Structure 1
Amino acid sequence: MSETTEAANATNAVTGTGASGLAALEARLQQDLAWLELPAKSWVPPKTVNGQQVLDVAVIGGGQAGMAAAVSLLHLGINAVIYDQSPAGFEGPWATTARMETLRSPKKLTGPALGFAALTFRAWFEAQFGLAAWEALDKIPRLQWMDYLRWYRKVMALDIRNDHRIDAILPRADGVVELHIDAPAGKSVVLARRVVLATGRDGLGGAYLPPLAESLPRALWAHSSDDMDYSKLAGKRIGVIGAGASSMDSAATALESGAERVDLLIRRKELPRINKGKGAGSPGLTNGHINLPDEWKWRIRHYINVQQTPPPSGSVQRVSKFANARFLFGASIDKVEVVGDSLRITTPRGLFEIDFLIFSTGFRIDWTVRPEFAAIAPHIRNWRSRYMPPVGDEDMELSDSPDLGPAFEFQQKHPGDLPGLERVHCFCYPAALSHGTLSGDIPAISDGAQRLAQGIASLLYGEDVDTHYKNIQAYAEPELIGDEWTPSEPTEQERRGASR
């Protein structure tokens, strides 16, 4: 028996499983935090503007990235409030638009646990179901991951304001960012020293759609990220454009919902087989990407983009087990015509008649679909302004990516045009070119959250260094009272020696 198995058995023997096991795990987590004196005491000087209290940090987005960021800030003594547009317990895509059966990441990854063993999914799972169930588990069920994140929110006692939509983000020259918020209680304005955008895969835009979608009736198509009732596809002929994981998830969901036929229209001659992004993962890249020369940052990210990520084996098999699913390779889209209530798709492989089309074409940065960013979008410096790639290595996703500072902060395209823009931090997927994949995906989300929090702590301290210096000067708690010692007199010989 391995040391890991012995330790796990010992833990199960002590804590049990089920509700009692989870209660014991929560007690252990609180003890760990207490032993580490976490969270740290608040040290950021209170700030008001025209009588209105200013938050230390406002985090927009209450999914795994936003929660990890908030916990990291709180542990450094920085107060953080999270705003999320979704109802409580439905933050992020897991229980809404995601359609995979299981996560794509290996179960062993620790995700947003921030170095705390008792905060990992594994600890949460084993506390309820035991070691044998963990060892039998292949990958984490998607909805179970959402249950874990709900527990994470509870045990870390996070201040998440649900059903709060951000209407506008307005950096100001007086050291604050103004947030216009629409919530069930009405509209309000919140001020914060710093704002963190933890807004996910489509964090600075939305779904990418090829131009041909614009000419099609909206009732005949959807993007794979749309919140859609797939039961309406029962009995219909469905086309899915794309060959990534989300394509397989959408195709499988349509098939499971009773679609008559699903055709996967795949531009490539075959599916990619190797996940180059997985091969790139290491603590070296996690910590070293930010310090690489621009040409290496671009080269690595562009190579991974071009190679593309293959869909998980289980996701492909989920589709291929249906006899009415077809994988049509080399089927790039030449033309789509509307014929009555259906679509006729022309490809090099032939003509296909379908009733509904699903674009599984990914995401892109598109400020025009995010009105809350209207004030900041024109002023954000992107990589197109920073770096010109070699001919043949052009990449729209990378060129559109924001050129971020060391704390994930936006930088001004023309310094001075929008003072305060650097108070908004981009902790979502488009940060990947500047920082590596630390701001959304499970593998390195803790590393990214801690880098973000440490950077913000440094910036906040620097802003108020004069106040902190005065506090140092005013600090008057004595270490010594004065009665801890008795003054001694030199000997006669010592006094004579001093007078020579």
Structure 2
Amino acid sequence: MSLSAASHPQPAGLPALEERLRDDFTTLGWPAKSWLPARTHHGEAVHDVLVIGAGQAGLALNVALRQVGIRPVLLDRSPRDFEGPWATTARMETLRSPKELTGPALGIPALSFRAWFIAQFGLEAWTALDKIPRLQWMDYLRWYRRVTGADVRNAHEVLAVRPQADGLVALDVRADGHTRTWFTRRLVLATGRDGLGGAQVPAFMHGIDRRFWAHSSDALDYATLAGRHVGVVGAGASAMDSAGTALELGAASVDLLVRRSDLPRINKSKGSGVPGLTHGQYLLSDDWKWRIRHYINAQQVPPPQGSTLRVARHANAHFHLGCAVQRVEPVGDKLHVHTTQGVFVLDFLIVSTGFAIDWRLRPEFADIAPHVRLWNQRYQPATGQEDAELSASPDLGALFEFQERTPGTQPGLERIHCFCYPAALSHGTISGDIPAISDGARKLAQGLAALFYREDIEHHFAQLQAYAEPELDGTEWTAADSAARIRQLHDGNVFS
């Protein structure tokens, strides 16, 4: 073997990594043995845990639950391999998270993106890699699902969620053209960034024909923008990625309409990523929870440098700062966009104004929405600290569970756990973002195991009483003749 070949060995390949992972799983005793009693309800099987969403949060939670002997079923309305935004509505070239973050690996090195990448492309390629390409992350999640054996039911759309007073949650689920009711003891919403709402649409777009505009989270064929003059409202990551995609697919021009007089430069959210906050947000006082989250919101997260350069390298990209949109009106086949800098005449407008907690956009939660306690019923911020997103956030219990707005009005609501972005004020960003998703998954899985044991305590105590596996069978020793032994010891003058 040449020195060069020895210095840069060939990647081992995924089969070798998967063999290593199987050994890791065996070493860790994963998955743990099931221990929960089976239940039925009116002849229907009752699931222990149903998870709505099979993106990275749902998949990480599956691994954590199976580590404690609970086997969840994940329901996702998307077709297989297209769960989450990565291969559908996301348009960034790369993730903004540093490649070194372990994400949903749950502390298992062979389950990490790094191990998956190096197995295929080698250590030298990993060293050269700057940020993780978006579609490559989706490929990793597809592999993750396969090697962890997640029980995902694709093309299953949840139409209604109805907590019951008998310790169950009923879900109406449509699949294969049919709707039937599922029952579960605990329901987890792993529904992502817009988990309790959807796209935030500013008032100036209300009533404007959708042929003229789209939200950056919409499924849109950007090739249709070729040769057109496009405006983008906003300057966050999705705004830059929408602008860059439009330019790369032949837009005649892109005008970015930015309300702020300058782009934010520092990602304060990144600066908050220390273990003390990751594990301790829930234990903070209300004042400190609000103060931290509001500060990060108010400072705003800057667009990634790569996404900004992706736009700026085009001569037909125009950054308009201090340019707040005031009014939009269609005039013939054009849009007249009135701003603080003047009127832009455009062919199409992309609104990149983020997401809102808006239960009206989630009809499947209509039964629970009026009963969920929100932070605006828990906390009144100081003047100048008002924050619409935080006020609308659900006031969650210790295990991400919803709490009743008025106690006693919807029994069973606490059996629904909000493991998605709107949990950030109560628990921090441990229920969706890559950096701490494993921490959140472990916390919820271990907590659910404890709740199940407490609920089934009579069953488990009976199991304890009935447990009869012998450690010894009686042949391991011979009973001594105590009287003879005592005489023997006396005769030997042991006590003299």
Contact 2:52 2:188 in 1 (8 A): yes
| Counterpart position of 1:3 | none
Offset, 1:485: 2.3
CA distance in 2, matches of 1:349, 1:295: 38
Q: Does 1:243 align with 2:235?
A: yes
- Aligned AA for 1:286? T
**Is there any run of 5+ residues in structure 2 with no aligned partner, and where?**
1-5, 491-496
Question: How many pairs align?
Answer: 483
Q: Which whole-Å deviations, capped at 9, do the CAs of 1:29-71 have from their partners, x for residues lacking one? A: 0101101111110011111111111011001001000100111
Distance 1:307 1:56 in 2: 41
Q: Does 1:106 align with 2:103?
A: no
SS at match of 1:83: strand
What's the secondary structure of 1:334's corresponding residue? strand
Asked whether 1:165 is paired with 2:147, we answer no
Q: 1:350 to 1:185 in 2, by over 3 A?
A: closer
Q: What is the RMSD computed on CA atoms of the aligned residues?
A: 1.5
Separation in 2 of the partners of 1:147 and 1:314? Answer: 21
State the alpha-carbon separation in 1 of the partners of residues 180 and 134 from structure 2.
Answer: 35
Separation in 2, partners of 1:235, 1:471: 71
Matched, 1:390 2:382: yes
Identity of aligned residues (%): 62
Which residue of structure 2 lines up, in the alignment, with residue 178 of structure 1?
170
Task: Tell me the amino acid that sits aligned with residue 344 of structure 1.
Answer: H
Work out whether 1:223 is the aligned partner of 2:215: yes
Match of 1:37 in 2: 29
Per-residue deviation at 1:480? 1.9
- Indicate which of 95, 107, 113 corresponds to 2:87: 95
Residue identity in the other structure for 1:412: E
The reply to whether residue 483 of structure 1 matches residue 485 of structure 2 is: no
Partner of 1:436: 428
Measure the CA separation in 1 of the matches of 2:426 and 2:405: 16
Residue 255 of structure 1 aligns with an amino acid whose one-letter code is L
| Structure 2 SS opposite 1:262 | strand
Task: Confirm or deny that 1:305 pairs with 2:310.
Answer: no
> Who is 2:457 aligned against?
465
Tell me whether 1:295 sits opposite 2:284 in the alignment: no
Partner of 1:368: 360
**Which of 198, 202, 211 in structure 2 is aligned with 1:210?**
202
Whether contact under 8 Å (2:204, 2:326) holds in the other structure is no
Distance 1:161 1:228 in 2: 26
Q: One-letter code of the match for 2:254?
A: V
Structure 2 residue aligned with 1:418, among 410, 422, 428?
A: 410
Kindly provide the amino acid, as one letter, of the partner of residue 393 in structure 2. S
User: What residue in structure 2 maps to residue 51 of structure 1?
Assistant: 43
3-state SS of paired residue (2:160) = strand
What is the CA-CA distance between 1:492 and the residue it aligns to? Answer: 4.2
Aligned partners of 2:357, 2:266: CA distance in 1, in Å? 26
Report the counterpart of residue 6 of structure 1 in structure 2.
none
Q: Which amino acid aligns with 1:213?
A: M
**C-alpha offsets along residues 124-163 of structure 1, whole Å, 9 cap, x if unaligned?**
0000000011011110000000000000000001110001
Q: Is the partner of 1:452 in helix, strand or coil?
A: helix
- Once the two structures are superposed, residues 199-241 of structure 1 have per-residue CA deviations (whole angstroms, 9 ceiling, x without a partner) of 0000000000111211211111110000011111111111111
Partner of 2:439: 447
SS at match of 1:193: strand
Say whether residues 1:156 and 2:164 are aligned partners: no
Taking structure 1 as the reference length, the TM-score comes to: 0.95
Task: Please report how far the alpha carbon of residue 253 of structure 1 lies from its aligned counterpart in structure 2 after TM superposition.
Answer: 0.7
Tell me which of 271, 286, 297 is aligned to 2:278: 286
Residue 337 of structure 1 deviates from its aligned partner by: 1.8
1:337 maps to 2:318: no
Aligned to 2:65: 73
Equivalent position of 1:321 in the other structure? 313
Match of 2:342 in 1: 350
Contact residue 99 and residue 132 of structure 2 kept, 8 A: yes
- TM-score after normalising by structure 2: 0.95
Q: What's 1:118 paired with?
A: 110
Out of 243, 248, 253, the position equivalent to 2:245 is 253
